[in-house]
Structure 1
Amino acid sequence: MVEDKLETMGKYKIFNKKISGPFTIPAGLVTTEVSTLEKIANEIPEIGILTTKSIGPEPREGNREPIIAQYSPFSFINAVGLTNPGVEEFRKRISKIKIPPDKFLLTSIFGSNEKEFKEVAEKLVELTDGFELNISCPHSDKYGQAVGQDNAIVEKITKSIVSLGKPVFVKISPNLDVKETVKAAIRGGVSGITAINTKGPELYKYRVEGGWRPVLSNKVGGVSGKAILELGLTSVNKIRELTDLPIIACGGISTKAEVERYKEAGANFFGIGSALSGMNTEEIKQYFHDLLINLEEGTNNAASLLKEKLNMDYQKYTV
């Protein structure tokens, strides 16, 4: 039986660490800057797990704009391109901020092979509470899903990072065989699972004079938000059938209804990203405050803060 995590504030736990709340903001646009991460850490108690942007061995500028677009309410396509300052610069930045003791710092890392993953992890191991292995980004040539599609490599990378002595989460792709990926991670000694990353890659185009043009500069991208809710729920359910390890659920959460569905599927913690689109800092703070109260009291006022935009004239293309 999965332990009920939706308890009174201050009683949440991940491994042996008490944390301030059951939520995280998944690795992505919101957590790109360390200064933003610090602000979240100090001003939003409902967020107990601080997940960083994915960090690699070298700086990456990523893709040029546009890198994200909303194609239906609370559903997005993005291809950020693993933008990050590189592990050396990130180490300098993260070492300068103070993380409250009731937060679990989960550092997302990526590489093209076991050597690169370990190179990044070794430089950050003293500064983090745990690692999240990004083996699931769907729109990079040699990173993310390109690595995660080989279960022998998944096992090898997991085992390598686990050997450093910090808890390790593996972030799962919904585009691969979820159960087989999780089994490989378990063989490697993984501590927990994050599910899911974006779906795809997919291609969306918008109408221009004389035809259609790709929405993103990268042409294809990963789909996030409400569009992958059911896929996320199915994936979490499959994972829970295999293991009692902690699960961080991501994909389509915006109100207490989705949190409760993920909890029923077996999730312990809940990542919310796309639903924050359009909110300012104060609205994000209020949103998480209200959402936790909604879960405890059965109300639903957090939904009033969501910014539903009109659909744009996008058309999905098969890649």
Structure 2
Amino acid sequence: MSFPISRPRRLRKNEAFRSLVRETRLSPAGFVYPLFVCPGEGVRKEVRSMPGVFNLSVDEAVKEAQEVKSLGIPSVILFGLPESKDEQATGAWAEDGIVQQAARVIKREVPGLLLMGDVCLCEYMSHGHCGIVQKTATNRSVGAASTAQMSGVDEYEILNDESLDILAKTAVSQARAGMDIIAPSDMMDGRVAAIRDALDDEGFENIPILAYAAKFASGFYGPFREAADSAPAFGDRRSYQMDGANLREAMIEIELDLEEGADMIMVKPAMPYLDVISEARRRYDVPLAAYQVSGEYAMIKAAAQNNWIDHDRVMLESLQSIQRAGASIILTYFAKDVAKILG
């Protein structure tokens, strides 16, 4: 035969055909929308580098949560901007912490919306790191040497085991406040086991853990650090977040978190690590999440504002790529926009 029998274009000739045979279907039911909660009342402050994303006081966060639920999005993840910071991340685990306050009110005012609590310390530490810092040259903690003294100092260590107790206390305080899912994002070794034990000891054995299992030290986090006021005062986070070159190590991290009791796993960021998502989906039969992070969002927004790309088309394409790679849950700042398009 002079011409191939197979003509794939037969199924592409109009939108009805394309929709009928589409392999990847986005749905708001798989989205989680991030919220940044801050002190005050009536506060709705747009994040400069993230158009459409706001720092919200609790009352405004409730309104946002109500809209999220009305759009068919099942969950929000809460990040907090405390009134003050210290070297023990007190605001992270305080019973009246900003995230705990927001969780209680949203749980009451927006029943049925799943609340996810990000368990990390960077937003609450005066130095902006995700664990307790020790100055290695003199073997003193930052509690003894102030953050100002530490600035510019390269000889420091993020203490792993000493940070676990604070992370566990934070998880328990969030569970008491009404969080439905605990999501540790700190990348300390052993944190999932420590959190699982603490939750079980306090009677929260039915609260699942979504572990940021493969969280990479990425340049795509910049806008988030503005939104959450969480940039490190010195150094960077490469000693505990993953090296972006390592896929096999990511599988080890995921395996360890599952062994320690994680119910769900996450890869962060999403688009630069689609291969990691795909490999995780191939290996592990558990719910798999991916975080389309602030830098991914900001790039699309900035390019669209300059009329360099079609905003909605690229937004949808980016999310389809994440789902196609294997993620069944996507944390994304585009959740509301996409839900409105999908109807």
Cα distance in 2 between the residues matched to 1:283 and 1:124: 32
Match of 1:152 in 2: 165
Distance 1:191 1:143, change over 3 A: farther
Does the Cα contact within 8 Å between 1:135 and 1:145 map onto a contact in 2?
yes
Distance 1:243 1:134, change over 3 A: closer
1:294-314 deviations in Å (ceiling 9; x for gaps): 669xxxxxxxxxxxxxxxxxx
- 1:296-307 superposed matches below 5 A: none
Distance 1:259 1:96, change over 3 A: closer
Instruction: Say whether residues 1:236 and 2:254 are aligned partners.
Output: yes
Structure 1: gaps (5+ residues):
1-22, 24-42, 69-81, 205-215, 297-319
Cα distance in 1 between the residues matched to 2:252 and 2:123: 19
How much has 1:109 moved relative to structure 2?
A: 3.1
- Counterpart among 223, 227, 242 of residue 244 in structure 2: 227
Structure with the greater alpha carbon radius of gyration: 2
How much has 1:285 moved relative to structure 2?
A: 0.6
Does the Cα contact within 8 Å between 1:135 and 1:144 map onto a contact in 2?
no
Instruction: Say whether residues 1:193 and 2:210 are aligned partners.
Output: yes
> Which AA in structure 2 matches 1:112?
A
Structure 2: gaps (5+ residues):
1-23, 81-90, 133-159, 223-230, 301-310, 328-343
Instruction: Return the TM-score normalized by structure 1.
Output: 0.53
Match of 2:194 in 1: 184
Match of 1:287 in 2: 318
Cα distance in 1 between the residues matched to 2:68 and 2:287: 27
> Which AA in structure 2 matches 1:87?
V
Aligned length: 224
- Counterpart among 118, 130, 136 of residue 133 in structure 1: 118
Higher strand share: 1
Match of 2:289 in 1: 270
How much has 1:191 moved relative to structure 2?
A: 1.1
The runs of at least 4 aligned residues of structure 1 exceeding 6 Å deviation read 59-62, 216-219, 223-226
1:135-158 deviations in Å (ceiling 9; x for gaps): 154795277725896322322232
1:194-250 deviations in Å (ceiling 9; x for gaps): 31556399xx9xxxxxxxxxxx99776667998376465442222012225122332
Cα distance in 1 between the residues matched to 2:275 and 2:62: 38
Cα distance in 2 between the residues matched to 1:48 and 1:155: 27
1:95-140 deviations in Å (ceiling 9; x for gaps): 3455344x32132233433220422321222333122224154795
Cα distance in 2 between the residues matched to 1:166 and 1:138: 18
Higher helix share: 2
Instruction: Return the TM-score normalized by structure 2.
Output: 0.50
Three-state SS of the structure 2 residue aligned to 1:95 is helix
Segment of structure 1 superposing worse, 52-61 or 261-270: 52-61
Cα distance in 1 between the residues matched to 2:262 and 2:270: 23
Distance 1:161 1:167, change over 3 A: same
Distance 1:283 1:241, change over 3 A: same
Cα distance in 1 between the residues matched to 2:183 and 2:325: 29
Match of 2:36 in 1: 54
Match of 1:78 in 2: none
- 1:12-91 superposed matches below 5 A: 44-45=26-27, 48-58=30-40, 84-91=55-62
- Counterpart among 241, 245, 265 of residue 263 in structure 2: 245
> Which AA in structure 2 matches 1:53?
L
Does the Cα contact within 8 Å between 1:107 and 1:132 map onto a contact in 2?
yes
Cα distance in 2 between the residues matched to 1:291 and 1:200: 17
Three-state SS of the structure 2 residue aligned to 1:191 is coil
Three-state SS of the structure 1 residue aligned to 2:55 is coil
Does the Cα contact within 8 Å between 1:253 and 1:259 map onto a contact in 2?
no
Three-state SS of the structure 2 residue aligned to 1:282 is helix
Match of 2:76 in 1: 106
Three-state SS of the structure 1 residue aligned to 2:56 is coil
1:176-208 deviations in Å (ceiling 9; x for gaps): 22x2x111211224412231556399xx9xxxx
